[in-house]
Structures are given as structure tokens and as C-alpha cells.
Amino acid sequence: MTEPILSPEFLATLDRLALVTRGARIGVFKGERRSPRRGGSVEFADYREYAPGDDFRQVDWNAYARMEKLFLRLFVEEEDATVHVLLDASTSMQWADKWTYARKLAAALGYIALLGMDRLSAAALAASGRALTLMRPLRGKGYALGFFGWLTAVEPGGTTAPDAALARYAAQVRRAGPLLLISDLMDDAWQAGIQRLSQNNYEITILHLLAPDELEPALEGDLRLLDSETNSTVEITADYDLLDRYRARVRTWQADWARYCAARGIAYLPISTAEPFEELVLGYLRRQHVLK
């Protein structure tokens, strides 16, 4: 029997969480997000003057008594958002425990979106060699098992140009909203693709996932290293000086990404798979205002 992506006990702890959005959005169905439209909830928003054909039940008669003019009470409309979960399924994500960790993270974030009655749109990039694998949009907690089944069926192991794949996604899924990208960013073309998304009004959060061996490699001696995606090789002598320079370059790389994202209003979160998963979701992501 296949082990579930997330245990029932952990799913129960997610029931009290919600995804943070940075602005009101117009949706399609009733949900739990504030919309820029005015509707029929119980939270007062504003007044406007009465016009022929308006519902008399919304007239504020106290305001009429004071000003002898008819005004309607307007209330905050709560609608659904479209939450986008994009999962890098390229070959490099199979290193160490990155794929298992990334898929669990996607499952948790998607489940929380479904709990909040948001529309969930998900895609895998470079899964089984395909540039883009889309999931049919889902809405409501009852579709959680379907979402988990889709994630379970995704097979990592391919290469693609992420800029082209993200451009295809933006062209096919036109409703912008909060977008969570889970990737190791092991391709220079990621920035061009993310730039395209940011121009299409997505609220982007990048979850930059790396394994401990990628952050602090335990290497020693003369080695030939193989690139898992291009099959190119490089010969090195792993001594203290080389490893120190490697660690410095990783820190610079992450800092460059942080600056790139900050300049575009994108949230950037570096994550090590050494972080206990429950602490990541219930602690770190809440402190970083991805969840509340």
C-alpha cells in the first residue's frame, strides 16, 4: 500500500492555517478572500447613493433621516482566489531527499488552499521529460485526495527551459493570484521565467529548496562530479580551500536571488531539507508570512 504524502495527523494540524495574500482579488465563487467588489457579506465597507433599481433593503434609513438622501450600505464581498502551486520536477530535484520534501511541501500548501475554498491550480515542470504537466483546477477540501493522487503520479526526471515552461503556464492559466514555486533553481533561465510571471500580476513566493549536501558538501580527495541533467563531468580536488570557496559561492547565489526578488516584490525563502518538515510549515512559513 502506498504511504500517503501527508499523514492524517499532520493534515489535522493544517486545518487552522490559511495562505496569506497581499491584496484583494476578484474571484468566481464565494470564498474567504476579500474582493475589490462590493457584495452581501456582514462586514460593512462603504456607502453610495441610491440609484433606481437598487435593493431597498440595503438603504440606510438612519442616514436618510439625517441627510434626507437615500444611501445604500455596501459590504465586503468575499470570493475565492486562484492559488498556483508550481513544482520543479527536473532531474536535479531527485538529489538526496529534495523530491520527497518538495512534494510534501506542495501537498501541504495545496491542501491549505483547498481548505480556504480557493481554486487550486498546480503544475509540474519537467516531469518525466515533459516541459509542463498541468492539473485540472480544483476547489474545496473534498478534492484533496485527488490533488494528492496527482502529486503521487508526478514522476520527476527531465530537463526543460524553465523560462519557456513558465511562459506556457501563464498563457494557459490566465487568472493570476498567489503563486508558490518550489524549486532548487538549478538553471540560469529561471529568472527570465519568473520575470514573466511577475509582469502578469502573480503574487510570487519562491521556496528555494536545497539539500544539506548542496549547502555543505561532505567531499574529500580527487573526484569526478557528474551533472545529473546534462551528464557533463568535472574533475576536482576537494580540499578545505575549494569547499570554503564553494560555500561562499552558494551564499552569494542565494543573496543574489534575494536581491532579485526584493526588487520585484517577490518573496524569497531559502530552505534546507534538513529543516524538520513540520517545523517548516507550522513555524518558518508562518514567521515568513506565507501562512497564518
Q: What is the pTM (predicted TM-score) of this model? A: 0.80
Residue 24 lies in a domain: no
Is residue 57 domain-shared with residue 178, that is, in the same domain?
no
Is residue 108 domain-shared with residue 43, that is, in the same domain?
no
**Residue 159 confidence (pLDDT):** 78
Residue 23 lies in a domain: no
Q: Which whole number is the average pLDDT over 114-128?
A: 91
CB 177 within 8 A of CB 133: no
H helix count then E strand count, the chain: 10, 11
Task: Please name the residues in contact with 252: beta carbons below 8 A apart, sequence gap of 6 or more.
Answer: none
Residue 150 lies in a domain: yes
For 70-84, 151-165, 224-238, 262-276, which range has the lowest pLDDT when averaged over its residues? Answer: 70-84
Residue 292 lies in a domain: no
Q: Which whole number is the average pLDDT over 211-222?
A: 84
**What is the C-alpha separation between 165 and 159, in angstroms, rounded?**
11
62, amino acid identity = N
Is residue 141 domain-shared with residue 219, that is, in the same domain?
yes
Owning domain of residue 55: 30-79
Is residue 49 domain-shared with residue 89, that is, in the same domain?
no
CB 148 within 8 A of CB 4: yes
Using the 3D structure, point to which of 79, 98, 115 is the last residue of a domain: 79
Is residue 95 domain-shared with residue 55, that is, in the same domain?
no
Residue 3 lies in a domain: no
Q: Which whole number is the average pLDDT over 234-261?
A: 90
Dihedral-angle region of residue 262 (phi above 0 means left; psi in -120 to 50 means alpha; beta otherwise) = alpha
Place of cell 481554486: 119
Per-residue pLDDT tens digits for 135-173? 999 999 999 999 999 999 999 987 778 999 999 999 998
**What is the C-alpha separation between 31 and 28, in angstroms, rounded?**
9
CATH code for position 117 = 3.40.50.410
Give the phi and the psi of residue 10 in degrees, each rounded to 5: -70, -40
Q: Which three cell numbers stand for residue 232?
A: 557533463
Is residue 213 domain-shared with residue 151, that is, in the same domain?
yes
Residue 110: is its pLDDT beyond 80?
Answer: yes
Place of cell 534538513: 274
CB 196 within 8 A of CB 170: yes
CB 183 within 8 A of CB 206: yes
**Residue 46 confidence (pLDDT):** 61
Is residue 94 domain-shared with residue 150, that is, in the same domain?
yes
Helix (H) or strand (E) holding 249: helix 240-262
**What is the C-alpha separation between 219 and 222, in angstroms, rounded?**
9
Q: Which three cell numbers stand for residue 142?
A: 473534498
Q: Higher pLDDT residue, 75 or 238?
A: 238
Nearest C-alpha neighbor of 170 from the set 190, 141, 199: 199
Is residue 34 domain-shared with residue 129, that is, in the same domain?
no
Q: What SS3 state is found at 226?
A: strand
**What is the C-alpha separation between 81 and 286, in angstroms, rounded?**
20
For 58-67, 72-81, 103-112, 243-252, which range has the lowest pLDDT when averaged over its residues? Answer: 72-81
